[in-house]
Structure formats: structure tokens, C-alpha cells
Copies of this chain bind each other. A is one copy, B any other.
Amino acid sequence: MSEMVDHSVCGNPNAARAREVLDLVADKWSLYVIAKLGDGEQRFTELKRSVGGISQRMLTVTLRGLERDGLVTRTIYSAMPPNIAYRLTPLGATLVDATTPLVMWAIENLSSIDAARGRYDDDHVKEVRELNR
């Protein structure tokens, strides 16, 4: 059936709808929360500390979204004092696998990108200087 792993991504009839999913997953926080949960079950405050920089509001919103989409489960161990654990579902675990290459890429190519930014910004500043002459 005519292999088409990469080039057909755009031609796929589901591609348009896939954007809804990507929009969810590719937002500022979901990626990090998912990655952290990949290390195992975590409690709310634990997540908040380990993700770093996220507000409790955004953590709540993000977790509810992930729960709604069947990527994360919320288990109540005790109501008082509250002890609630978040954990990846099997589906969520496959998402971690899918995002890992991207995370690794970002870490590995950090310096290349920094360098490129420096060059671009230098050139741009130079142009502005020339205009001011």
C-alpha cells in the first residue's frame, strides 16, 4: 500500500483534526507535565515543584485537560488530609514515547540554536546601525 510515513502526514484526511490534538498537547505546560509523569506517579504539590514555574491554577487546568483526554488518571488515596496521585494511562505512556524525541532534540541542539540566534541578532543590529549612519 505504497509506504508513506513522512510525506503523507500532510495529505492524510485526519491531519486537519489532528491539529486539535496537537493544539492540546503542544501547549506551554502539557508537554512538561506529561514528561514528569513519565517518571512515575506524582502528587499535585510534587508536580508543581518539579515542573517549576507553573501556577497552581495552570497545573489544575492542565491536569484536568489531560484527564479529560484520557492521558492521565486521578486517584484519591485519602480525602482528609488530601492525598491524590496523578499517573499516566497506557495511552498517556505512548504519548511520552512520542514526545521524547522532541525533548531530546531540544536538549541536544540548544547550543546550535543559541549560536544561530546570536548570529541573526548581530546581523540585525548591524543593519539598524547602518541605517542610523
Contacts and interface: CB of A to CB of B under 8 A. Distances in A.
Interface of A: 5-7, 9-10, 12, 14-19, 21-23, 25-28, 31-32, 35-36, 38-39, 50, 52, 67-71, 91, 94-107, 109-110, 112-113, 115-117, 119-121
Contacts of A12: 107
Contacts of A31: 22, 26
Contacts of A32: 19
18 contacts: A6-B96, A9-B35, A9-B107, A12-B107, A14-B110, A15-B107, A18-B106, A19-B32, A21-B113, A22-B102, A26-B26, A26-B27, A69-B116, A69-B120, A94-B109, A97-B101, A98-B101, A98-B104
B101 A70 contact: no
A21 to B, nearest CB: 4
Q: Mostly helix, strand, loop or mixed at chain A's interface?
A: helix
Nearest to A109: B91
A104 B5 contact: yes
A12 B63 CA distance: 24
Given A23-B28, A27-B26, A70-B115, A6 B100 contact: yes
